[in-house]
Every structure is written in structure tokens, then in C-alpha cells.
Amino acid sequence: MVKRWALLGVAVLALLLAVGPARPQPTPGPFLRDFESYWSAGATWNSGANPYGRAIWQAERRVVGVDARRDELLPFVAPPATLLLFGLLARLPYGAAAAAWLATLGIALLALVTGALWLARARVTVTPFLGALLLAASFGPITSDTALGQLALPAFAAAVFAVLLAGVWGFPSALLACAALSQPNVAVGLVSQLGRNRRTVAILIGAVLAVVLGAIAWGLKWPLHYLAVLAAHGEAERFAAIQFTPAAVAYGFGVGMAGATYVALACAVTTIALSVVIWRRVPDRFARFAALSALLPFVTTFFHEHDLLVAYPAVIWCALHARNGMRAVALAATLLAGIDWLGMAQRPTGIAQIVLLAVAVAAAFGALG
């Protein structure tokens, strides 16, 4: 117990240093930079214009912190159903809407931590909760989600609670599954629950509800339009440095476009085969969900650094249950996913902060063991 509290103390100290003395100077831009596109999409939709096109810039250029003299259009790629929410938020001034969204992110973070602990069959007492919370608050992808105002955090928290409640309360789980699909690339882990009676029904109802809400916001043909938007956006970023996909990583290491495509196909086939084995042979619902979620970067074609929060449930599972050599492997994997490597390359002034956050992650991981 003394060792655990000592490790928690190290995590707290490292986190405080990271957000205090080691915090780099803020970069130009609005508060919650990615929320800018959500709010602007809602404002554009409210005006009757197309939020998936260039019309969104007319709203974005009015946001405080955006340089209206430069064309810095931030595209909106969330499903049309989310416009019902962002349209409401856009009726508020940007500052008030961003504050409300930040509060939502805070609630989502607490929900993610609590849900992951419950599903991992941990007693949610002070020590494990504090350890899991410190780990989440220091985990690079989650810090990015929070700082940017990313939809991925509440969407994935909803997915975790959909798994938690599916076998008990069907309709609430369906609503949570629908919310998780607001960012589809982090919700794919829900397929781990298919074939399990009530959970399958809840997820399917959630998917149908998402389709209906999309039709309300964007018409009956919205799936075709949205797939076209995703295809265009994915093609534009296919080999970009900000993508964390097998193809983009291979391309970054010097493999040509054709070779990188073959790498992506090989990873996808291997990952799908492994996922089928896990789905069939792993009886624990959370272990299945955590494993399939952690495998998402190896099969998806669109994945940013902040989307790596899908590894958090697997991190919690391993921190609580892995032992001996496997625990060392799990810690190494946690740091690999939890360190903001892209941030190190893009912003050398932030390296000290990133290193301190990594120390906090490692200490919190150790405290949970």
C-alpha cells in the first residue's frame, strides 16, 4: 500500500509540473481548436448552408483567435446526426459554447475512468480511482482530446458505458451506442459485443437511431453523401504525418505509396483474423472490447493521435491484471500509445511536458498493479 501511494505521489507531482512550470507557450488559435469546426458546422447548418463544404469558413473566420485574413478552413467530418447537437451549441456565443463543451469533456473523462474500472471488475475505491484518473489525465491521446475539444472523448466514453449497461438496461445502452457512433472510428470496438443477445439488440437499435437522426439532420440520402465526404477527406490525409494508420506510418518510414498500401492490407487482414479469434474465444465482455478497441489503429484507414484513447481500456485492464514479464510488455505498449510522439516532433518546446506526462503515466500504471 505504501508503494502504491508513493507511485501515486510521483504521478501527481509529475502531472503538476507538466501543467505548471513545464507547460510551453500556447500556440495561436482559438480555445478548444477542434471544437471550432463543430461550432461552425452547427452555425453553418443553422443558416441552411452546407457544413461539409467551404461555407463553414464563413463561421470559422468569426471565431475569436482565428486569423480571418488567412484561409485556415478546418473541415467538419462528424456524422450529420451530430449537427442536431452542434446546431444547438452554435446558438450560443463561441466562448459560452466552448465552456459548455469543456464541461462535457470533463464529465466524459470521469465516465471513461469509472466505466473502465467497473468493467475491469476493480473495486472503485480511492486508490484505484485516483490511479486510473491520473493515468487518463496524463495519457497523451486523452490530453489531446481535452485540449482540442475532440468529440472522440465523449463518443468513446459512451461506447464504454454501452458495453457496461448492454446486458442490464437495453434502451439506455442503445442510446449510448448511438452516441458512440457520433465518431465511428472509435466505436468499432462495439462489434466485440455482437452475437451476445441483448447486447446485439441494443447496439443495432443504437445504429438505427443514429441513421434516423442523420436523416432528420441531412435527409434520407445522408449515408451516400457522408461516405463521399469521408472518402475525400481520407484520400487527402492518406499518407499525412498526422495519420496513425499502417499506411501512413509505412510511408513515413520511406516506403512508397504502393508498398504502404500493401502494408496496410496485410495489417488489416491480420488484425481482422486476430479479432475474430478474440471475439470467439474470449468470454469476458470487457476484455473483448478492450482488445478489439486497442487493435483499431491497425485496421482503420483514418486515425489521428487523439483517437488512440481507444487503448485506454486495455491499459486499465493490463495495469490491474498483468503480472511479471507481461506487465513490462504492457507498460511499454502503454507508453508507446500514451506519449505524444507527434507533439515532440512538431513542438520541441513541449518535450519537457511530454516527458513529465510519460512519467506520470508510468507511475499511475505501477500504482494500479
Span of 87-91, 98-102, 192-196 with lowest mean pLDDT: 192-196
User: Residue 179: in which H helix or E strand, if any?
Assistant: helix 170-180
Residues 266, 287: Cα–Cα separation, whole Å: 24
Q: What's the sign of the alpha-carbon dihedral 117, 210, 248, 268?
A: positive
pLDDT in tens, 173-228: 899 999 999 999 999 999 999 886 778 888 999 999 999 999 999 999 999 999 99
* Helices (H), ranges, 51-151: 57-60, 83-89, 94-119, 126-138, 140-148
Name residues whose C-beta falls within 8 Å of residue 102's C-beta, 6 or more positions apart in sequence.
32, 146, 149
pLDDT of residue 169: 67
pLDDT digits (tens, 9 = 90+) for 12-53: 999 999 999 988 887 778 889 899 999 999 999 999 999 999
- Please name the residues in contact with 324: beta carbons below 8 A apart, sequence gap of 6 or more: none
What is the distance between the alpha carbons of residues 34 and 25, in angstroms, rounded to a whole number? 19
Burial annotation 327-344 (CB, 10 A radius, 16+ → b, else e): beebbeebbebbbbebbe
Cell numbers found for residue 353: 511536458
**pLDDT at residue number 196:** 66
Is the torsion defined by CA of 5, 365, 179, 39 positive or negative?
positive
Triad 313, 121, 358: Cα angle to 5° = 35
Please, which pLDDT band fits residue 239 given cuts at 50, 70 and 90? Answer: confident
